[in-house]
Amino acid sequence: MPSSLSPAVLPDDLAEVARKLAVIMAGLAGVVAARFLRMPALAGLIVPLWWRLQRVSGRFSKKMVRRVTAAKPRRAAAPRAAARPRKPGVRLPGGKGWLVRVLGYEAAGYGSQLAHLLTDPAMQAAIAEVPGVGRVLRPICRMLAVDWPAVAVAPVVVEPGVAEPELARAEVPMAALRVTDTPAAPELRVKIS
C-alpha cells in the first residue's frame, strides 16, 4: 500500500475502512496474479490489473486525507508543461462482472467482502461526502459485479421564514375528471392477403 500517511491523518473509522479496503485489494491482486499465470490468453493482463488493484487503496486514502485536511488553503498550481503522448496501454476487458466470470468463486468472495465494506456506515459517509471515492471504487465494483450503494442525497435546506405553500384539497367528483371532448382514435384496418 503506497500511502503510509493515511492512518496517522485519518480518523479511526476511516483509517479502519481504508485498511480493510487495502486488504481486500491486495488479496484480489494476489488471486489475479496466481490464476492468470495459468491462463495464457490472460497472462498479458496480470501487470496492468495488478497495478490497478494496488492503486485503489492508495487513491482511496488520498481522497480521504484531502477530505480531512480540506480546510487548509491550497497554493496556486504552477502551469504544467505540455504532456508527452502516452504509449498505448493494455485495455482491460469491460462488462459487469468480467473478473468474476474469469476467476469464479475466488473473485466472487472478494466481491462479497467489498459489498459488505460498502455497507459500513463510515464508508457510506465517505461516499456521500467525497465524490472522488466513487470514481475510485466504481470500476472495481463493476469488475466484481458488486452493486453500487444508493447513498442518500443531502436533504434540501429550506430557508427559515419561507413556508411551503399548502395545497388545498378540493373534493372533486370523479365524473368531473372524465374527458369527453377527445376525438375518437381512427380505426386501423389491416388487410391480410
Q: How confident is the model at residue 193 (pLDDT cuts 50, 70, 90)?
A: low
The more confidently predicted of residues 132 and 28 is 28
117 lies in some domain: yes
Query: Alpha-carbon Rg of the chain, whole angstroms?
Result: 26
98 lies in some domain: yes
62 lies in some domain: yes
Q: Is the pLDDT of residue 34 over 50?
A: yes
Decide: pTM greater than 0.85. no
173 lies in some domain: no
pLDDT in tens, 122-134: 888 888 888 788 8
Q: How many angstroms separate the CA atoms of 169 and 164, rounded?
A: 15
The more confidently predicted of residues 152 and 51 is 51
Q: Is the pLDDT of residue 182 over 60?
A: no
Q: How many angstroms separate the CA atoms of 139 and 132, rounded?
A: 12
Q: Is the pLDDT of residue 184 over 60?
A: no
Mention every residue, 6+ apart, whose C-beta is less than 8 A from residue 103.
31, 32, 35
Amino acid at 91: R
158 lies in some domain: no
27 lies in some domain: yes
156 lies in some domain: no
Q: Domain containing 37: what range?
A: 6-66+92-143
179 lies in some domain: no
Tally of domains within the chain: 1
